[in-house]
Amino acid sequence: MIQIAIMGLGTVGTGVAKVIAENSRQIERKLGEPLQVKRVLVRRFKDGPYRQLMTDDFTKIEEDDDIRVVVETIGGVDAAYEYTKRALMAGKHVVTANKQLVAEKGCELLALARRKNVSYLFEASVGGGIPVLHPLTQCMAANRIDEVYGILNGTTNYILTRMVRTGASFADALAEAQEKGYAEADPTADVEGIDAGRKTCILADLAFGHQVDPDNVPMEGISKLYLEDVKIAERGGYRIKLLGRAVRLPNGRSAYVAPHLIQEDHPMANVEDVFNAVMVKGNATGDVMFYGRGAGEMPTASACVSDVMEVLQSSARRDEINWSEDGEGFVDPAELKNRYYFRIPGSLTIAAADFGEVEVLSEGSETAFLTEPITGREAQAHAERLRAIACLRVLG
Ligand code: HSE
C-alpha cells in the first residue's frame, strides 16, 4: 500500500481523491500496489466522504513516514509555500497544481527537492488536464524552443465563448465558470490575465531555462475588451482570444499576456469553452500543439495523480524539470513587433499619415483596421495620438 496526503480540499483536491478512488484498479495495476489517501489537510472540518481523513495539523503529515507523496492543492503562496518546503525537507515528494507558487518560488523549491533527493512536479499547473510540461521538457528535449504561446485560462475562454456564441453577459458567463469550478477563488486573477501570466512564466522558465519573474511580465486580461471589437473581428475573419506568449530573442527572452486577434483558419481560433491550447515552436519539430480541458476538477486532478504515479515509479529524478535562478535578459515585450488592430473614432484619413498599408475591417463613424507589423511601443504611441478605442495585437 502506497500512502499519500492531500493538502487542501477545494475543487482540485477533491478531484484528486475522486480520481484515486474511481481509477483505483488502473492505478494499482500500474504501480503494483494500491494507492491510498491517508490524510487530508483542511482549514475547517466538513462532513463528507473524507471526514475521517481530515486533519488541520500539518505535523500529522510531516512526521508520518508512511506518507511518501504530498499533493498540494491549497493554492496561493503563504501556507502552500511553507508546507511544501517542510514536506520536501521531510523527504516527501510534492506534486501540485499551484501555478502561483511554481511561477514565484518554483526555482527554489526545485533546488530544495534536488537537495533532498525527491521530486517536485507540477504538470497540472499549466493547461489543467493537458499534458504539456512533460512533453515540452522530455519529448521535445532535443529542440531549441523558440516560442511558446497559448490559450492558458479556461475561465476567460469560457466567458468569451459564451458571450459570443449565446449572447450571455460577462457577469453571467463568469458566474457559470465559477459554478463549474473553473475560476480561481478570486476570479480577478482569471479575468485580468494574471492566472494566464503565471502559466506563461512557467512555460517560459522551462522552455528557455531561466527564471521569468511574474512581476516583469505585462498581463492584460479581458475586462477591457469590447464585444464590439469581438464582432468586428469575427466579421473580418478573425477571433479574439486571450493569449500568453513567451518568445526567445537573440538578446534574451520576453513574455506577456494580452488579447489577440487570430485568423479563423488558425488551429487556435476554434479553441472554445474551457478548452486550452498550447503551441510550442521547436527548431527541429516546428509547431506542436497541445489541446484539452484547461480547468475543472477531474482534468486537473488527472494531471496531479499522474504526477503522483510518476514520482513513485521513476528511479531517477526528473532533472529536465528545472531552470536557472538568473533572470537577466528579460526584454520588455513593448519591443516585440506584431500587426495591430485599431478601432478609432472618425475616418481612416485621420490615421492614414500614421500608417502605410492597412487592412480595413469596418468603416463608419468609427474605423477598424489592421496595421503592418509595428512594435508595442509604436502601437501605444499611435493609440494615444489617435485616441483609439481599441488597440489589440494580431497573432502571426
Ligand atoms: N482558473 C484557472 C482557469 C484554473 O480558468 O484556467 C486552471 O488553472
From residue 168, alpha-carbon distances to 152, 165, 275 in Å are 22, 8, 18
Helix, strand or coil for residue 9? coil
H or E stretch at 7 = strand 2-7
C-alpha of residue 392 to centroid of ligand 1, in Å: 23
The angle, 0 to 180 degrees and rounded to 10, between the axes of the packed helices 99-115 and 194-208 is 30
Burial group, residue 21, by CB count within 10 angstroms (0-12, 13-18, 19+): middle
Find out whether the beta carbon of 88 lies less than 6 Å from any atom of ligand 1: no
Residue nearest (by alpha carbon) to ligand 1 atom 7? 295
C-alpha of residue 147 to centroid of ligand 1, in Å: 22
What pLDDT is recorded for position 352?
73
From residue 357, alpha-carbon distances to 44, 218, 366 in Å are 61, 28, 18
Q: Domains of the chain (ranges plus CATH)?
A: 2-129+298-313 (3.40.50.720), 133-293 (3.30.360.10), 336-394 (3.30.70)
C-alpha of residue 66 to centroid of ligand 1, in Å: 32
From residue 99, alpha-carbon distances to 74, 104, 146, 291 in Å are 11, 8, 22, 19
Tell me the percentage of the chain whose pLDDT exceeds 90: 93
Rounded CA separation 229/240 (Å) = 8
Other residues' Cβ atoms within 10 Å of the Cβ of residue 32: 9
Mean pLDDT of 315-319: 65
Mean pLDDT of 69-92: 98
Residue with the three cell numbers 520576453: 254
Enter the pTM of the model: 0.97
Question: Does position 384 have pLDDT exceeding 80, yes or no?
Answer: yes
H or E stretch at 256 = strand 252-263
Q: Which of 10, 15, 13 is nearest to 298 (CA)?
A: 15
- Lowest-confidence segment of 93-107, 314-328, 342-356 by average pLDDT: 314-328
Say if strands 275-282 and 374-375 run parallel, antiparallel, or are unpaired: unpaired
Residue 66 in grid coordinates: 508512511
Mean pLDDT of 125-136: 97
Q: Which of 356, 357, 131, 136 is nearest to 246 (CA)?
A: 136
Give the ligand 1 atom nearest the CA of 182: 5
Give the mean pLDDT of the chain: 96
C-alpha of residue 97 to centroid of ligand 1, in Å: 10
What pLDDT is recorded for position 319?
76
Residue nearest (by alpha carbon) to ligand 1 atom 4? 295
Question: Does position 350 have pLDDT exceeding 80, yes or no?
Answer: no
What pLDDT is recorded for position 328?
86
Tell me the percentage of the chain whose pLDDT exceeds 70: 99
C-alpha of residue 313 to centroid of ligand 1, in Å: 28
Find out whether the beta carbon of 280 lies less than 6 Å from any atom of ligand 1: no
H helices of 116-153, in order, are 133-134
Q: Which residue out of 122, 155, 300 has the highest number of ligand 1 atoms within 8 Å of its CB and is therefore the one to mutate?
A: 155
What pLDDT is recorded for position 315?
61
What pLDDT is recorded for position 316?
53
Find out whether the beta carbon of 128 lies less than 6 Å from any atom of ligand 1: yes
Rounded CA separation 140/138 (Å) = 5
What pLDDT is recorded for position 356?
81
The amino acid at 366: E
Mean pLDDT of 9-37: 97
Mean pLDDT of 373-384: 96
Mean pLDDT of 309-331: 84
Helix, strand or coil for residue 50? coil
Find out whether the beta carbon of 190 lies less than 6 Å from any atom of ligand 1: yes
Annotated active-site residue 337? The verdict is no
**From 199, 224, 281, 337, the catalytic residue:** 199
Condensed to tens digits (0 to 9), the pLDDT of residues 212-263 reads: 999 999 999 999 999 999 999 999 999 999 999 999 999 999 999 999 999 9
Mean pLDDT of 278-299: 98
Find out whether the beta carbon of 262 lies less than 6 Å from any atom of ligand 1: no
User: At residue 205, what are phi and psi to the nearest 5 degrees?
Assistant: -55, -50
Find out whether the beta carbon of 294 lies less than 6 Å from any atom of ligand 1: yes
Mean pLDDT of 21-43: 97
What pLDDT is recorded for position 99?
98
Find out whether the beta carbon of 195 lies less than 6 Å from any atom of ligand 1: yes
Question: Does position 140 have pLDDT exceeding 90, yes or no?
Answer: yes
Residue with the three cell numbers 507540477: 122
What pLDDT is recorded for position 390?
98
Residue with more model confidence, 318 or 207: 207
Give residue 317's pLDDT band: very low, low, confident or very high (50, 70, 90): low
